[in-house]
Structure 1
Amino acid sequence: MTTTPPIPAQPPVLSAERLAAAYTYAQYRQLIEERMAQGLTTGEDQSPELTAYARLNIQRMQRLDKKTELLPELQQALAALEHEYAWVIITEGWCGDASQIVPVFEKVAQASQGRIRTYYLLRDENLDIMDHYLTNGGRAIPKLLVLHPDTRTEVTNWGPRPAEAQDLVLELKAAGVDHDQMAEKVHSWYAHNKTQAIQHELLTLVRGL
């Protein structure tokens, strides 16, 4: 007779202290605004290009905070959640994709009636976590980690962008498009898509919890 060896316990993604020290959305937004007032952005790279991106990103997030409306089916899926979850979001103020996606994460959490609580971590200050969630070997953000709040173990993860946008990025890279042109085309895609792709992917994620 053979026996199946026990499945090893899954380690927590981060410590309780580190989770408690994460930014709330309001604190994250305030941090970005304060850095911008100093002519800076978050992260290690303080190039003029990234600071300019961060300034545009603030405008994008302000617009999405005001205008994003969740799909009725996503709201229904959130209402049907039976457990609570911690959504840990790895991001930076200069990241264009984050500016288009992070406000949607927060809208979902707000609509969950307390079942989802968000925690924001800056990528460059948490590379040990980021490096467990690389995309094609790169530290692409935003990255969403869905955790059990008591054990801080992973349920699932998502990111760094909707599949359709990711395919576009890969296509543009293969074509040798430079960074500025790529950013223009990707943000044009986000503008035309109006958060529909990210919402549908989050709907699938929520239904799977």
Structure 2
Amino acid sequence: MNTIIQDSLQKSYTYTAYRHLMQTYAQEGKTTGEQTEAYVHYTHLNEARMHRLDKTITLTPEVSHFLDQLPNELLWVVLAETWCGDAAQVLPVLDKMASHTPKIEMHVVLRDEHPALMDLFLTNGTRSIPKLIIVDKVSGEVLGDFGPRPQGAKELIVAYKAAHGVVDDEAKAALQKWYLQDKGVSIQNEVVALLQPVKV
């Protein structure tokens, strides 16, 4: 596993580089992964969302304090694609957390370019993204993973699918509203919960 993770870093992006790629693709009518009209549309939509979130997401005082006390140096590897709506909501929060402390180094890798890595972190047998993989930089041990959604968002989609049988545009709109109201707090808290065993 560690070899696959390290190999993925050879073709990874800093968050800034990923955002630049996304901006360029949105302007040029492109997307990462399969070049479909829908994916191009979602990339353009997600660029606008991330532009807003990059400016508005703030860390809670509790999360900021926790990150200030983090003893271990961590590597965060995030599997994503520019067309993914959940990735557009989650990545700006992860970047805000990683940028808060020099103890965290974050890299973004594209799911479709790294199937071997993705297949180590499936969600219910599917290649769901985004997926954050937390690695201890010294030992190389995988400490945990997060994604593709925080618990409240997962429950919303499960309930909608149970009621309607599909995840349609109405469900996606409800999901985006949930993210808007949550302001990234659930993501912060759930990632901190994963990091709790790291603290000594």
Other-structure match for 1:107: 96
Other-structure match for 1:5: none
Show structure 1 runs of 4+ deviating over 4 A.
Answer: none
Query: Runs of 5+ in structure 1 lacking a partner?
Result: 1-10
Moved more, 149-158 or 65-74: 149-158
Query: Aligned AA for 1:157?
Result: D
Other-structure match for 1:194: 183
Other-structure match for 1:8: none
1:5-43 deviation per Cα after TM superposition (whole angstroms, max 9, x unaligned): xxxxxx415254532431100111111122222211111
1:14-163 matches, within 5 Å, as: 14=4, 16-44=6-34, 46-112=35-101, 114-163=102-151
Q: What is the TM-score normalised by the length of structure 2?
A: 0.92
- Give the RMSD, CA atoms, in angstroms: 1.5
Contact 1:145 1:158 survives alignment (8 Å): yes
1:159-203 deviation per Cα after TM superposition (whole angstroms, max 9, x unaligned): 111011111111112222442122111101111111121122122
Tell me the CA shift for residue 115 of structure 1: 0.2
Tell me the CA shift for residue 208 of structure 1: 2.7
Contact 2:73 2:138 survives alignment (8 Å): no
What SS is found at the alignment partner of 1:139? coil
What SS is found at the alignment partner of 1:169? helix
* Identity value in percent: 39
Other-structure match for 2:170: 181
Query: Runs of 5+ in structure 2 lacking a partner?
Result: none
What SS is found at the alignment partner of 1:140? coil
Query: Aligned AA for 1:19?
Result: L
Other-structure match for 1:208: 197
Aligned residues: 197
